[in-house]
Amino acid sequence: MTDKKASLFDSISNSYDKFNHTLSLGIDRMWRKKSLRHIVGLKNAKVLDVACGTGDLSIELIKQGAAHVTGTDISEGMIAVGRKKIESKHFSQQIEMTIEDCSAMSFADNSFDCITCAFGVRNFTKRKEGLKEMYRVLKTGGQLMILEFAMPQMPIIKQLYNFYFKHILPHIGKLMSGDKAPYEYFYNSVKQFPQRQLFMQELSDAGFTPKHFKVMTLGIAIAYYAEK
């Protein structure tokens, strides 16, 4: 992710949690919980949570039985908010948060039992390199789960979704953070992201063995599962 994108996320780090809940109408909490339940071998696993943001998925990973989570993000602002949240919930011994470039991570090969990423892959400037880095640091037999926003396929739902994203959400974002530009970016990032079989092919190209994907809430989000 470029410095420009890091600055974008720094600028909304204090309102990011409210934004995510508004963007999903509060359903994102359920998506995180549901997506993790389909990961094989999560109990007692050493997990890397890429593009962890403010740590919501990292916390849910511990709640669902992971032994330790390393959360990484390019945004210092997101990491700072996440560390405070994790400390307030008394998870500091189980969750470590570090600043990392997803396309060139500092971890050794085969370091993690499981890798997760929620609402972050579509923001990778170098998605191909980022996916290959995940493959590199994941142990053989390890599991990958990527949760992302998606474009609904049902015509009526798609029309409502596009209207909400384009005409309502940026104004809500401006009220929350004083700037609607980051929220306009989010719509474009979702629209341009390859979905369903197209993204499964990208996982395969990175070396993974794609397993399946799970469509959630009328196609608004999709959880992708793969294995090394």
CA distance 150 to 166: 14
Give me the residue spans of the domains in the chain.
3-151+194-227
pLDDT at 178: 66
**Start-end of H helices in 118-226:** 127-137, 155-163, 169-177, 181-192, 197-205
Q: How confident is the model at residue 12 (pLDDT cuts 50, 70, 90)?
A: low
Sheet order of strands, 46-50 included: 95-99, 68-73, 46-50, 112-118, 138-149, 221-227, 209-216
H or E element at residue 6 = helix 3-11
201 half-sphere exposure, CB direction, 13 A CA radius: 6
pLDDT at 201: 98
pLDDT tens by residue, 42-98: 999 999 999 999 999 999 999 999 999 999 999 898 899 999 999 999 999 999 999
CATH class for the region spanning 3-151+194-227: alpha beta
What average pLDDT score do residues 94-123 get? 96
Q: Is the pLDDT of residue 179 over 90?
A: no
Q: How confident is the model at residue 13 (pLDDT cuts 50, 70, 90)?
A: low
Of all residues in the chain, the percent with pLDDT exceeding 90 is: 70
**Start-end of H helices in 12-148:** 16-23, 28-36, 56-63, 76-88, 127-137
pLDDT at 1: 42
Mean pLDDT of the chain: 89
- The residue that leads in pLDDT, 17 or 158, is 158
CA distance 43 to 113: 10
